[in-house]
Amino acid sequence: MLKAGIFLDIENLSRNGGWGMRFDVIKKLAEAQGTVVLRANAYIAVDTRLEREDDEYKKKTRAFRDAIRRNGFHLIFKEVKRFVDSEGQVVLKANADLDLAVDALLQAENLDYVLLGSGDGDFLRLVRALQSKGKRVDVLAFANTSAELRQEADFFFSGPLVPGLLTADNGDTERKRGMIHHIVEDKGYAFLMIQTGLGLNDVMYNVFCHISEITENGEPIDGASFRRLYERKAILEFDLTEQADGRFQATDVREWVWT
């Protein structure tokens, strides 16, 4: 078994569509790559000043941190600092990038596999450094992911596509998520890719999707919009139906909205 470490940039994941993600599924995702998880670190901002002033905020944030701990993650806190910008506005900052990068480099000496949870392009050099040490480095992220980071990772997991990761993914009756991997623009159809499990090979590429099934704000889309969905690697949400001949088709298709 490969020895694995997980390093999560909680602020990046949460503000880019990962709010409500299940931390037990993240560990299962790493284990599905043939690993045993030795380190699981979560880097999180803490505003102790606001917690002293707002009991409701304190209860909410501490409950969130306790939920992460219950799933076996070690929390590394970064205190929120306040600065006044040139326009006199108070700016909050709590960047844990350096802490995560240093820990990952040091702890990876005893690891074979690293799962980095962040879409921040500042981690590109970290990924390359770990790979140069012979480590496999996969990336898990949601919206606003650096294209270079996605490309550099040994494998990129798109958060919305990982089964069970988001709380809405809680059963076979839920709508599915996928993205267009092949488009036949002149005939108005495409094939979608969906992830059926947590392993690298747990992927289905043969989900048929006709342009007539896709709507935006309740209205059918045109060919240009169809093409843009493909080019943007947009996440689509749909009902998955199996036809009499065994083929799968996506119906009632809409772009999934990042929250």
pLDDT at residue 83 tops 90? no
Average pLDDT for residues 3-28, to the nearest whole number?
A: 95
Q: pLDDT at position 47, please? A: 81
The predicted-structure confidence for 100-130, as pLDDT tens digits, reads as follows 999 999 999 999 999 999 999 999 999 999 9
Q: pLDDT at position 163, please? A: 93
The predicted-structure confidence for 135-147, as pLDDT tens digits, reads as follows 999 999 999 999 9
> Residue by residue, what is the 3-state secondary structure of the chain?
CEEEEEEEEHHHHHHHHHCCCCHHHHHHHHHCCCEEEEEEEEEEEECHHHHHHCHHHHHHHHHHHHHHHHCCCEEEEEECEEEECCCCCEEEECCCHHHHHHHHHHHHHHCCEEEEECCCHHHHHHHHHHHHCCCEEEEEECCCCCHHHHHHCCEEEEHHHCCCCCCCCCCCCCCEEEEEEEEEHHHCEEEEEEECCCCCCCEEEEEEEEHHHEEECCEECCHHHHHHHHHCCCCEEEEEEECCCCCEEEEEEEECCCC
pLDDT at residue 21 tops 90? yes
pTM comes to 0.88
Q: Decide which of 98 and 90 is more confident.
A: 98
pLDDT at residue 90 tops 60? no
Average pLDDT for residues 213-235, to the nearest whole number?
A: 95
For the chain, list the domains and their CATH numbers. Answer: 2-161 (3.40.50.1010), 176-255 (2.40.50.140)
Determine contact, residues 163/240, Cβ cutoff 8 Å.
Answer: no
Q: pLDDT at position 91, please? A: 39
Supply the angle between the helices 97-107 and 124-132 in degrees, to the nearest 10: 10
CA nearest neighbour of 255 among 139, 232, 102, 240 = 232
Average pLDDT for residues 38-63, to the nearest whole number?
A: 88
Determine contact, residues 136/112, Cβ cutoff 8 Å.
Answer: yes
pLDDT at residue 247 tops 60? yes
The predicted-structure confidence for 156-215, as pLDDT tens digits, reads as follows 999 999 999 986 544 444 789 999 999 999 999 999 999 999 999 999 999 999 999 999
Work out the percent of the chain whose per-residue pLDDT is above 70: 90
